[in-house]
Amino acid sequence: MRKHLRKLLPGHDAVSGNRWLRPFENSLLHPRLWHLNRHSAAGAIAVGLFCGLIPGPFQMFGAAIGALIFRVNLPLALFSTLYTNPFTIVPLYLLAFQIGSLATGGTAGFVTPPDFVWSNIGNSLSALLNWMVGLGKPLAIGLVLLASGLAAAGYLLTKAAWRLYLVRAWRQRKNRR
């Protein structure tokens, strides 16, 4: 499994050769940020899934900080934030609102999101932000609960998938002998 992931993810050399990342070289070139094993992969998936629900363009920044703090695989943490995109963010926020409403016991009605006009992105983003702020406490609590649940599920599923892959490889190796 490690061989397949290494082909897809950038290496240590990509950071050391980048002039924009040179000031952060000491912390970004820590070996545990680039080592890929079942522990660092599971932690990176969890960090990425948690940070994927951060609003706005700060998802990858949050994932990078999380990877630095927890010393998990940095490229995989950044890559796993990509499950949120313009098509999935609204359903995820709707789910977060429902989870937050259940958790807080609130019965606040849900207001439909504003239409997104691509020709006027600035006003559309402003209207979307005002809509999210209007949802308030249930959305904020729901986002934290949903992000935590996704992170825990991603961590456990990654550990389980890696374990199944190892057991299968061990059995195949045993059968070859």
- Domains contained in the chain, number: 1
The residue with tokens 């363009």 is 57
State the residue range of the domain holding 59.
Answer: 2-176
Q: Which pLDDT score is estimated for 108?
A: 57
Residue 116: partners with Cβ closer than 8 Å, 6 or more residues away: 86, 124, 128
Task: Encode pLDDT of 55-94 as tens digits.
Answer: 878 899 999 999 999 999 988 999 999 999 889 988 998 8
- How much of the chain, in percent, has pLDDT values that exceed 70? 79
Low-confidence ranges of the chain (pLDDT < 70): 1-29, 31, 106-111, 134
Check: CB of residue 34 under 8 Å from CB of residue 5: no
Q: Residue 138 has what pLDDT?
A: 85
Give CA–CA dist 133/139, Å, rounded.
9
Residue 23 Cα distances to 62, 72, 73, 90, angstroms? 19, 20, 20, 37
pLDDT for 123: 84
